Amino acid sequence: MPALNLAALTTEELQALLGEEGAQSRLPDVSRARLEGRPLLGPLLPAALTFEPLAERPWGATPEESRRLTALDAELRAAGAEPLGVYYVPQERAARHLRAYLFGPEVAAALRWSETPELPRSGQPFVEAVTWLRDRASGVACVFSTSAAAVPVPAPSEAADVRVLPGASPTELLTLHRRAVLHHGRGGRIHGEEGWKRAWQELHALNMAAWARRGLLLHEAEG
């Protein structure tokens, strides 16, 4: 499994990944590695994602989070999103729990949160969406939108049109996401749960390829 090369990340990416205090504590090591032209081992990155199905139950690590998840789920359904089930994604660094949705024929959406005890809390639950484009003549392969408070780290592929909408409601996010898709053309059709999983796997693969080009990935022999 490859790992992140901290020495190749930007300062902004380091702060988003490690937090301001964590980035400051690692900065001497990062600076030294950059000066010496060598990599610096960071967190592991999975080559692929696995989606482990979970049983339906009242989710949420706290009563407040349970209420928030229920409200967000209700808003997604009211907007026309079709629920596909709940999954646990063990390779994610923070928000490993998600509820999957299809929004229309071309949008794979996810309501994400974390209640994995050994992980740090990932803030409020948030919604993400991805659509793969039929025509990629513009150089854009997909549109990715997120309402998470923090930007994705490392930065996603340049072939993804990324819309970071902190705190946006599900309705707002889905509306703006679909508007961005129409700006580029038409989205490809997604078929059921397998199509939903494939949409996220392909986004992960797209990002991994971009991170490899940037020199962000370290393999065991390099670490």
- The pair phi, psi for residue 6, each rounded to 5°, is -60, -30
76 shares a domain with 21: no
109 shares a domain with 11: no
104 shares a domain with 57: yes
Burial readout 61-77 (b: 16 or more C-beta within 10 A, e: otherwise): eeeebeebbeebbebbe
Helix (H), strand (E) at residue 90: none
Predicted confidence at residue 221, as pLDDT, reads 43
154 shares a domain with 63: yes
pTM of the predicted model as reported, rounded to 2 decimal places: 0.92
191 shares a domain with 111: yes
DSSP of 129-187, one letter per residue?
EEEEBS--TTS--EEEEE--SS--SSPPPTTEEEEE-TT--HHHHHHHHHHHHHHH--B
133 shares a domain with 40: no
Number of structural domains (the chain) is: 2
Which residue range forms the structural domain that includes residue 139? 52-211
143 shares a domain with 57: yes
Predicted confidence at residue 223, as pLDDT, reads 45
Residue 115 in any domain: the answer is yes
Q: Which residues of the chain have pLDDT under 70?
A: 118-122, 220-223
